[in-house]
Chains A and B, each alone.
Chain A
């Protein structure tokens, strides 16, 4: 009986233990469910944070090229110096060592190193030499991070067109600003494991879309050599005339592509902090001016196109003084009867004014707008101005006359060269373009800009008549003789406009300009040269026309444009050329 009792007791105990295990197992199962199912995501993240990490890849800002593929703006990685102030043992000694290397005041470095923040930038984008010197110091608590630095290898070339970027590589001016979203690229993360030494291990490999962080490249219509010529000659004109500033634009009249856009004073975007911010402005599109006599071309072209005036019509130029209501319009010479061609050739304000009266102000306004004035050209650059013209209802007879010879209206240099291009190409107003192509990092074309004709402004016949008249301006006796280029026929117009100063037209401050195209009968270049407030040689024909000539001569040479009339050749040179095939034959034999 005793044995039976003990056996039953044993069985009961075993059952109790089994139940205990069951309870414990159930608890364990519930806990496992809680951890593995309910808290799975959270815990997975927690464990992954212990060994998984992400490597942020800096975006690569796209490169800006000229039309021939020369780099105008490119980004490379440089190092930036940071500090963990809490980890630096002797901040005073560290500051004393760093300040001379970084060329910073000692107190500024010391302030950074004693900051209460856990992380501070000591100097962004240090030079490789500085980085090497600082590394050699082996100061605990200092480190380097890689950042992107924008470089402009051509220095001053097209600086105002290109613009520049800020310290965080964001576009601030020019093309850099306008196309920021397209060329900046995107930062992206690569996920990696982290080993005991903190090294990254790409156990899952690299994602195939590694190129996605590379921004698109831009191919501009600018030619760096033409740009250099334009800037050099403009600088020479500004220096010679002791002018305040200058602007020059070179355009392909058939496509509207801007080949050069020069602004003086120049500045180096690599050292922009050392230059006057006034020099950063792209005056070719942001500055408006009263065009003066260069505008007569359009009022006269409008009248000829409308048939209100024939080229042979004669106008009496009032011997230099023409009264309209209470105002008097003057010419710079005392002219009697002039035909239309001579009105342009001698730049008669009175003649232009009378021609516009025959045209009528409604038609004049319409044609001014059709030539693209008083509206933005739509070139893809920031801060473009549209210019100004009084409203039609406020346009008095005197105002109409003034507009016809380029007063009481403001334009931008780009509008003016675009309008001259329309005369050059037979009457088509082209859309000015600065970007030819956008390509991605693999070289695939993202966007191709093709020439766009906005509208036909005048007929080919009228354009031809105007071309012939503008040739006379550069011919002997005209106001623009100094714009002539040896071997080529030039068509163009001088302009000298008084600037508004203290509520009236200034007698000392003028804008001297020359706008035209060359070769006149088969135009390759439309050029405008504008000199702002020259102190010497104040007329467009004296300072802007010679600059036009030198510019056109050098560019036509560079583009290998054959001259209209072949100049007399150096006989020695011809002889040398004739013997060249013989030399080549001898080389082949050798």
Chain B
């Protein structure tokens, strides 16, 4: 039987207790490990969700940009066509075509009958 001094006993006691405490702590960590994994998975899922939303909004942004450009072009095209139509319907042009190409003339008073409504 080995004799330990008081300080040795204290040292052994402290270390044994500490190891027991560590072992106990390690046991707790293992229990929570699954929980941590789950938490991590949720966080990762949220991260990927955020990433997906970001990419999707970017894609929508591109579509809006394209549609906006197309809309602007169509509006301008529409305006150009309206201006062209107005130019084609100008009174001087129509009169020239009516007289020179179609051989039309302004009707005389005797050729006009006013029909009362």
Chain A residues packing against B (C-beta within 8 Å): 70-71, 74-77, 151, 153-157, 192-193, 199-203, 205-206, 224-225, 228, 232, 486-487, 554, 557, 560, 562-563, 566-570, 573-574, 577
Q: How far is the CA of A225 from the CA of B62 in the complex (A)?
A: 48
Residue B64 contacts which of A202, A563, A573 (CB distance < 8 angstroms)?
A: A202
Q: Would you list which residues of chain B between 27 and 85 have a CB under 8 Å from chain A?
A: 57-58, 60-62, 64-65, 68, 76, 79-80, 82-84
Tell me the count of chain B residues lying within 8 A, CB to CB, of chain A: 31
B92 to chain A: closest residue by CB: A228
Contacts of B87 on A, CB cut-off 8 Å? 153-155
A577 to B114, CA, bound (A): 11
- Point out the residue from B61, B68, B91, B115 that lies within 8 Å of A228, measured CB to CB: B91
Chain B proximity of A517: nearest CB distance (Å): 20
Contact (Cβ within 8 A) A562 B111: no
Q: Are B82 and A71 in contact (CB under 8 A)?
A: yes
A344: min CB distance to chain B, Å: 28
Complex CA gap A232/B92 in Å reads 9
Cβ 8 A contact of A74, one of B83, B106, B110, B115: B83
Please, what's the 1-or-0 string for B87-117, where 1 marks a CB less than 8 Å from any CB in chain A? 1011110010000000000110111111110
The answer to whether A205 touches B110 (Cβ under 8 A) is no
Q: B6: CB under 8 A from chain A?
A: no
Cβ-defined partner of A577 (8 Å) among B82, B90, B107, B113? B113
Q: B106 to chain A: closest CB distance in Å?
A: 7
Chain B residues whose CB sits within 8 angstroms of the CB of A200 once the complex forms: 65
Nearest opposing residue in chain B for A190, CB measure: B68
In the complex, 14 of the A-B residue pairs with CB atoms within 8 angstroms, ordered by the A residue number, are: A71-B83, A74-B83, A153-B83, A199-B62, A203-B58, A205-B64, A206-B64, A486-B109, A554-B106, A557-B107, A563-B109, A567-B109, A570-B111, A574-B113
Known pairs A153-B83, A557-B112; A201 contacts B91 (CB<8 A): no
Query: Are A157's CB and B91's CB within 8 A?
Result: yes
Q: Check: B86 CB closer than 8 A to any chain A CB.
A: yes
Closest Cβ of chain B to A560, distance in Å, is 7
Q: Which residues of A contact B114 (CB under 8 A)?
A: 560, 562-563, 566
Query: Is the beta-carbon distance between B79 and A76 smaller than 8 angstroms?
Result: yes
Whether B83 and A224, one on each chain, are in contact in the complex, defined by CB atoms closer than 8 angstroms, is no
Q: Which of A74, A203, A205, A225 has most chain B Cβ within 10 Å? A: A203
Q: Are A573 and B92 in contact (CB under 8 A)?
A: no
Check A573 against B113 for contact (C-beta < 8 Å).
yes
Contacts A563-B109, A577-B115 aside, 5 further interface pairs with beta carbons under 8 A come to A74-B79, A76-B79, A202-B64, A224-B90, A573-B111
Bound Cα distance A465, B82 (Å):
49
Residue of A nearest to B59 (CB): A201
| Cβ distance A146 to chain B, nearest Cβ, rounded Å | 9
In contact, B86 and A71 (Cβ under 8 angstroms): yes
> With the chains together, A157 CA to B116 CA distance in Å?
33
Contacts of A199 in B (CB 8 A): 62, 65
Name A3's closest neighbour in chain B (CB-CB): B11
Q: How far is the CB of B18 from chain A (nearest CB, A)?
A: 14
* Complex interface: chain B residues within 8 A of A577 (CB): 113, 115
Question: B62 to chain A: which residues have CB within 8 Å?
Answer: 199, 201
| Contact A157-B109, Cβ < 8 Å, known A151-B83, A202-B61, A203-B61 | no
Residue from the list B68, B76, B80 in contact with A202, Cβ < 8 A: B68
Q: Name the distance in Å between B19's Cβ and chain A's nearest Cβ.
A: 18
A554 CB contacts on chain B under 8 angstroms: 106
Closest to A4 in B: B7
Chain B residue numbers with a CB within 8 Å of A70 are: 86, 89
CB pair B65–A192 under 8 Å, yes or no, is yes
**In the bound complex, how far is the Cα of B87 from the Cα of A74, in angstroms?**
11
Distance in angstroms between the alpha carbons of A71 and B88 in the assembled complex: 11
Given contacts A71-B83, A151-B83, contact A201 B58 (CB under 8 A): yes
Check if A154 sits within 8 Å of B90, measured CB to CB. Answer: yes
Given contacts A228-B91, A228-B92, contact A206 B68 (CB under 8 A): yes
Minimum CB–CB distance from B52 to chain A (whole Å) comes to 15
> Do A74 and B82 have beta carbons less than 8 Å apart?
yes
- Within the complex, what minimum Cβ distance (angstroms) separates A519 from chain B? 13
Q: Which residues of A contact B79 (CB under 8 A)?
A: 74-77
The answer for the CA separation of A156 and B95 in the assembled complex, in Å, is 15
Nearest CB in chain A to that of B75: its residue? A60
Say whether A203 contacts B111, CB under 8 Å. Answer: no
Q: B61: which A residues are within 8 A, CB to CB?
A: 192-193, 201-203
Asked whether, in the complex, the Cβ of B80 is within 8 Å of the Cβ of A76, the reply is yes
Given the interface contacts A560-B114, A566-B114, A573-B111, does A153 sit within 8 Å of B86 by beta carbon?
yes
Min CB distance B71 to A, Å, is 9
- What are the residues of chain B within 8 A of A225 when measuring CB–CB? 91
* A486–B83 CA distance with the chains assembled, in angstroms: 38
Contact B110 A569 (CB under 8 A): yes
Q: Is the CB of B91 within 8 A of A154?
A: yes
What is the bound-complex CA distance between A573 and B92, given in angstroms?
A: 28
Tell me the bound Cα distance from A157 to B106 in angstroms.
Answer: 21
- List the 8 shortest-distance A-B pairs measured between CB atoms, nearest first: A153-B86, A228-B91, A201-B61, A71-B86, A153-B87, A203-B61, A202-B64, A562-B114
A70 to B89, CA, bound (A): 9
What residues of chain A lie closer than 8 Å to B91, measured between beta carbons? Answer: 154, 157, 224-225, 228
Give A157 to B87 CA distance when docked, in angstroms. 11
A206 to B83, CA, bound (A): 28
CB distance from A176 to the nearest CB of B (A): 16
A559 shortest CB reach to chain B, Å: 12
**With a CB–CB cut-off of 8 A, which chain B residues contact A201?**
58, 61-62, 65
Q: Kindly list chain A residues whose C-beta atoms are within 8 Å of the C-beta of B111.
A: 570, 573
| Interface-centre pick from A71, A199, A563 (highest chain B CB count, 10 A) | A71
CB of A59 to closest CB in B, whole Å: 13
Q: CA–CA, A27 to B75, complex, Å?
A: 58
Chain B residues within 8 Å of A557, by CB: 106-107, 112
Which A residues are in CB contact (< 8 Å) with B89?
A: 70
Residues of B within 8 A of A157 (CB): 90-92
Nearest CB to that of A485 among chain B residues? B109
Q: A154: which B residues are within 8 A, CB to CB?
A: 86-87, 90-91
**A202-B86 in contact given A225-B91, A557-B106, A568-B110 (Cβ < 8 Å):** no
Query: Does the CB pair B83–A202 fall under 8 Å?
Result: no
Q: How far is the CA of A193 from the CA of B60 in the complex (A)?
A: 12
**Chain A neighbourhood of B86, CB < 8 A:** 70-71, 74, 153-154
* Residues of B close to A224: CB separation below 8 A: 90-91
